[in-house]
Amino acid sequence: MSTGTKSPLAGLGWAVQLGAQALEALARAAKLPLPRAPATVAGGSPEDLNRLGEWLDAVAQSQGLELDLRYTRHAEVESTLLRASPALLEVFTAEEGLQLIALLGTSAARGTARILAPDETVRDIPLSLLTTSVQALVEWDLIPTVDRVLERTRLPEPQLTRARKALLGAQLANTHLVAARTLRLPPGAKLPHHLGALSAAPRVMLLLVLAVLIQGCVLAGWWLMGQGAFEGQLDTGWLWAWALMGLTAVPLQAALAWTQGTLALDLSALLRRRLLTGALSLPVDEARRGGIGEYVGRTFESAGMEQMALAGSFTSLLAVVDLSLAASVTLSGPAGWLGLLALGAYCAVLGVLVVRQSQLFKGWTESRVVMTHALIERMLGHRTRLAQEQPSRWHEEEDQELARYAEASERWDAGTARVMTLARRGLLPVAIIATLPGVLAGASTASIAVGVGAALLGARAVMSLAAGSLALVGARVLFASVRPMLDAARLAPGATSHDTEDAAPQVAPLTSGDAPPKDQSLLELRDVFFKHPTSPRAVLERTSLTLHPGERVLLEGPSGSGKSTLASILTGLRRQGSGVVLLRGLDMATWTPGGWGAQIAGAPQFHENHIISGTLAMNVLLGRAWPHTQDDLKLARELCEELGLGDLLQRMPAGVLQMVGERGWQLSHGEQSRIFVARALLQRVQVVVLDEAFGALDPVTMRKVMACVEARAPTLVVIAHP
Ligand SMILES: Nc1ncnc2c1ncn2[C@@H]1O[C@H](COP(=O)(O)OP(=O)(O)OP(=O)(O)O)[C@@H](O)[C@H]1O
């Protein structure tokens, strides 16, 4: 495929070994915050190009950032690149092989891409060139075949190039590839950093300016009309001026809606990402405390919070602009300072009523959360209750919960109706009373008209402000129930690195598969103590354990003695109460959760583990980078066969790509437990911890599984009953 000519991308791509520098330069150019002390990543450069993605993820994490994969079809690479920046791209050229491109931006109109070259100069290149180089990642092994076909056609250039492109496009129509890795802040990064990255402050300023301009146009229009009418010269010129003011407001209104809509979308996406990350990072005991029902309840509440917070903030913001204009018009009307005082006092009364509403909303929300929790519990325990509970008791609690909910709803609705009616109708009479002294003192007709206009404007602003404030107090109440999840997002990988100004450096995932020398300890526990907050006695007391590379350890103990608790500490799911836990000589506190997880994997007890709805391959390769490579799929098949699942694979029409889980092929107890073992073994970690993983297996299968685990796990901890 070599043409002997210089590649158009020559000198513009970063060598793969310079991936860390490329990421840092890209982050700086894209104005993303970098930590003062980046975390350590073992292995300065990727040793295995098949694991380049994992290595880049680890580097991004060490810099307090994350890479979001833009996985797309061959034909859609260009449209994906248009929305991907800032991003790191893997490209393939015949002359330089695999390289990285730091993409800063794209322009669809000009068809160009702005990239950061290794000498840190910014260059514009054709977007099509970038697209072709990305597509070449999956094309290169097809090109010789396509060229052989085209050779016989003896097509001249440029038809030959076009024909090659068309043939490759047709062949690879359903092939997926990673078009780009977008560099962004992890969801758990500090809120000001996220708001800065979204340019939230200038966008809010723009909103305010647009709102003032729109109201200015409306007021100017009415002033023109009023002026013309009262001076008796309402000719066509005045009407044109009025119409012009009205028309000017139309594009401004469209710009306002666009700015508000796009900002709301960005903020809502940020909130959802943060919630999702938080839900997955909740400490295991905290997540369990409320149970699955409370989890689901909180998720529902988060949707309500998002809606109320966004709608409430925008409505209140625009209402404040309207109210300020209404106040200034009131001042120039016959009511003057008295009118302003009346407006202020009225807003204060409404404010008190709105705050009172928050108590009612809290009660309503609590009864709703209790109801959701109870409903989920009932659904989960449905069969048990059908079989074992007295039918007469089935709906007893449900009826009581419903009655409490209906009562709380009624109180909230009645209160809201009162506030809104007062906001809608109450200000006008107050404004008229405040205007009376001015009118009696002989104010002119024009001045009275201004007073009426101010009252109408004020009434509208007060109504919007009341609606916005009600939504905001509601959002505040819901925030309290969603807060644990939002806070937990800060525990997610990469999220803590920006806060390391005085904290200890964190160790990001080590991508190197090297184990320490055999005489050095790999994992060490010294005098570990652990107690559940709700329990008076400790589960683990002065527990010590040293594990060297390659060792096989069997942990036995009676039921309730703390074996699973110890396993959860080893796998990093729980932090010990006191004592020392060292991995490769480094204390647990110095590792990021991702860094620890990249070294030790565990298969939790059966009832704690889960088959995810998806393909069998996805279930066993859960710990590997997405998308799966052909090598990964081959290994997954091999391992399943070693674990005695070969027969199952043959029965499944789609083999390892068969859908399993709740909505797919229903796996038996023993099959599921072997999938859990395969999942732990395929994580490319140094230590595998299996917690009662063989309980559901017959003796022959168990021997087979044990042999496979012995052969595959570099270092092994098996937990079992005596
Ligand atoms: N949230 C909690 N609050 C208080 N005690 C708890 C909590 N969770 C677990 N425990 C207790 O901690 C102890 C240790 O539990 P663990 O699951 O580690 O035991 P185990 O040795 O693995 O038992 P088994 O062999 O039966 O699985 C048990 O007595 C359990 O009841």
Residue pLDDT, tens place only, 180-209: 999 999 888 888 999 998 999 999 999 999
539 lines ligand 1 (CB under 6 A): yes
Would you say residue 506 has pLDDT above 60? no
DSSP state of 155: P
Residue nearest to atom 10 of ligand 1 (CA): 532
Are 550 and 699 found together in one domain? yes
Strongest mean pLDDT among 82-91, 335-344, 489-498, 587-596: 82-91
Report which of residues 125 and 574 the model is more confident about: 125
- Ligand 1: which of 528, 529, 535, 571 to mutate, most ligand atoms within 8 Å of CB? 535
By C-alpha distance, which of 272, 275, 271, 216 is closest to 246? Answer: 216
Give me the mean pLDDT over the 540-554 stretch. 93
Would you say residue 40 has pLDDT above 90? no
Give me 686's structure tokens: 């140094």
Report which of residues 20 and 507 the model is more confident about: 20
Distance, in Å, from the CA atom of 519 to the CA atom of 498, rounded to the nearest integer, reads 36
User: How far is CA 682 from its chain centroid?
Assistant: 26
Would you say residue 303 has pLDDT above 70? yes
Residue nearest to atom 31 of ligand 1 (CA): 560
Give me the mean pLDDT over the 318-336 stretch. 88
- Predicted confidence at residue 384, as pLDDT, reads 87
Residue 509 domain-assigned (yes or no)? no
Q: What is the dihedral of CA 350, 468, 194, 69, to 10 degrees?
A: 150
Distance, in Å, from the CA atom of 545 to the CA atom of 523, rounded to the nearest integer, reads 8
- Predicted confidence at residue 519, as pLDDT, reads 74
pLDDT tens-digit series, residues 579-604: 999 988 888 888 776 778 888 988 98
- Predicted confidence at residue 229, as pLDDT, reads 73
Give me the mean pLDDT over the 494-517 stretch. 53
Cα R_g (the chain), whole angstroms? 33
Residue 87 domain-assigned (yes or no)? yes
Write down the residue that tokens 């993983």 correspond to. Answer: 693
- Predicted confidence at residue 493, as pLDDT, reads 59
386 pLDDT tier (thresholds 50, 70, 90): confident
Residue 515 domain-assigned (yes or no)? no
378 pLDDT tier (thresholds 50, 70, 90): confident
Domain that holds residue 288: 191-366+413-490
By C-alpha distance, which of 44, 49, 69 is closest to 57? Answer: 69
Distance, in Å, from the CA atom of 189 to the CA atom of 197, rounded to the nearest integer, reads 11
Residue nearest to atom 4 of ligand 1 (CA): 535
Output the CA 140–ligand 1 centroid distance in Å: 55
Q: Before 593, cis peptide (omega within 30)?
A: no
Residue 374 domain-assigned (yes or no)? no
For the ranges 42-56, 95-109, 294-308, 496-510, the lowest mean pLDDT is seen at: 496-510
508 CB-contact burial (10 Å; exposed 0-12 / middle 13-18 / buried 19+) = buried
Residue 26 domain-assigned (yes or no)? yes
Output the CA 564–ligand 1 centroid distance in Å: 7
Q: Say which amino acid occupies 175.
A: T
Ligand 1, residue 721: give the atom nearest the CA.
25
- Predicted confidence at residue 500, as pLDDT, reads 43
Are 54 and 125 found together in one domain? yes
Give me the mean pLDDT over the 664-681 stretch. 93
Are 195 and 124 found together in one domain? no
Are 196 and 178 found together in one domain? no
Are 165 and 215 found together in one domain? no
Beta sheet of 715-720, edge-to-edge order: 552-556, 715-720, 687-691, 600-603
Are 137 and 248 found together in one domain? no
Strand partners, 690: 603, 718
Would you say residue 293 has pLDDT above 60? yes
Which of helix, strand or coil describes residue 396? helix
Q: What sections of 489-592 are H helices per DSSP?
A: 563-570
Q: Which residues of 662-686 are buried (b: 16+ CB within 10 A; e: fewer)?
A: eebbebeebbbbbbbbbbbbbbbbb
Residue nearest to atom 18 of ligand 1 (CA): 562
Output the CA 712–ligand 1 centroid distance in Å: 30
- Predicted confidence at residue 421, as pLDDT, reads 93
The CATH code of the domain that includes 297 is 1.20.1560.10
Q: Are 640 and 656 in contact (CB under 8 A)?
A: yes
560 lines ligand 1 (CB under 6 A): yes
Give me the mean pLDDT over the 156-177 stretch. 88
Ligand 1, residue 288: give the atom nearest the CA.
1
Confirm whether the ipTM is greater than 0.85. yes
43 pLDDT tier (thresholds 50, 70, 90): low
Are 337 and 435 found together in one domain? yes
Residue 372 domain-assigned (yes or no)? no
Would you say residue 3 has pLDDT above 60? no
pLDDT tens-digit series, residues 389-427: 888 888 888 888 899 999 999 999 999 999 999 998 888
Strongest mean pLDDT among 6-20, 105-119, 134-148: 105-119
- Predicted confidence at residue 541, as pLDDT, reads 92
By C-alpha distance, which of 348, 367, 341 is closest to 469? Answer: 348
Strongest mean pLDDT among 70-84, 163-177, 519-533: 70-84
- Predicted confidence at residue 690, as pLDDT, reads 94
Which of 184, 212, 235 lies at the terminal end of a domain, its last residue?
A: 184
Q: Are 705 and 678 in contact (CB under 8 A)?
A: no
Would you say residue 87 has pLDDT above 90? yes
Would you say residue 39 has pLDDT above 70? no
- Predicted confidence at residue 689, as pLDDT, reads 95
Q: Are 329 and 450 in contact (CB under 8 A)?
A: yes
1 pLDDT tier (thresholds 50, 70, 90): very low
Residue nearest to atom 29 of ligand 1 (CA): 560
Q: Are 677 and 643 in contact (CB under 8 A)?
A: yes
561 lines ligand 1 (CB under 6 A): yes
Strand partners, 524: 546, 582
- Ligand 1: which of 543, 556, 561 to mutate, most ligand atoms within 8 Å of CB? 561
Ligand 1, residue 566: give the atom nearest the CA.
18
Which of 438, 465, 490 lies at the terminal end of a domain, its last residue?
A: 490
**Helices 669-681 + 630-642 axis angle, to 10:** 130
pLDDT tens-digit series, residues 267-277: 999 988 888 88
Give me 344's structure tokens: 């202020």
Number of domains in the chain: 3
Residue 510 domain-assigned (yes or no)? no
Residue nearest to atom 6 of ligand 1 (CA): 532
Residue nearest to atom 16 of ligand 1 (CA): 562
Are 249 and 279 found together in one domain? yes
Report which of residues 443 and 195 the model is more confident about: 195
Output the CA 334–ligand 1 centroid distance in Å: 76
Strand partners, 719: 555, 691
Handedness of CA 439, 440, 445, 447 (dihedral sign): negative
Give me the mean pLDDT over the 239-260 stretch. 90
562 lines ligand 1 (CB under 6 A): yes
Are 74 and 202 found together in one domain? no
565 lines ligand 1 (CB under 6 A): yes
Ligand 1, residue 561: give the atom nearest the CA.
21
607 lines ligand 1 (CB under 6 A): no
Would you say residue 143 has pLDDT above 60? yes
By C-alpha distance, which of 667, 720, 656, 658 is closest to 689? Answer: 720
Which of 158, 184, 210 lies at the terminal end of a domain, its last residue?
A: 184
The CATH code of the domain that includes 569 is 3.40.50.300
Are 103 and 129 found together in one domain? yes
Residue 227 domain-assigned (yes or no)? yes
- Predicted confidence at residue 509, as pLDDT, reads 53
- Ligand 1: which of 284, 288, 532, 694 to mutate, most ligand atoms within 8 Å of CB? 532
Pairing of strands 600-603, 687-691: parallel
Pairing of strands 97-107, 540-547: unpaired
Are 155 and 217 found together in one domain? no
Give me 454's structure tokens: 């101010």
- Predicted confidence at residue 496, as pLDDT, reads 52
- Predicted confidence at residue 296, as pLDDT, reads 76
- pLDDT-above-90 percentage for the chain: 44
Helix (H) or strand (E) holding 288, with range, is: helix 284-332
283 lines ligand 1 (CB under 6 A): no
Distance, in Å, from the CA atom of 497 to the CA atom of 189, rounded to the nearest integer, reads 8
156 lines ligand 1 (CB under 6 A): no
Are 195 and 179 found together in one domain? no
502 pLDDT tier (thresholds 50, 70, 90): very low
Output the CA 530–ligand 1 centroid distance in Å: 11
596 CB-contact burial (10 Å; exposed 0-12 / middle 13-18 / buried 19+) = buried
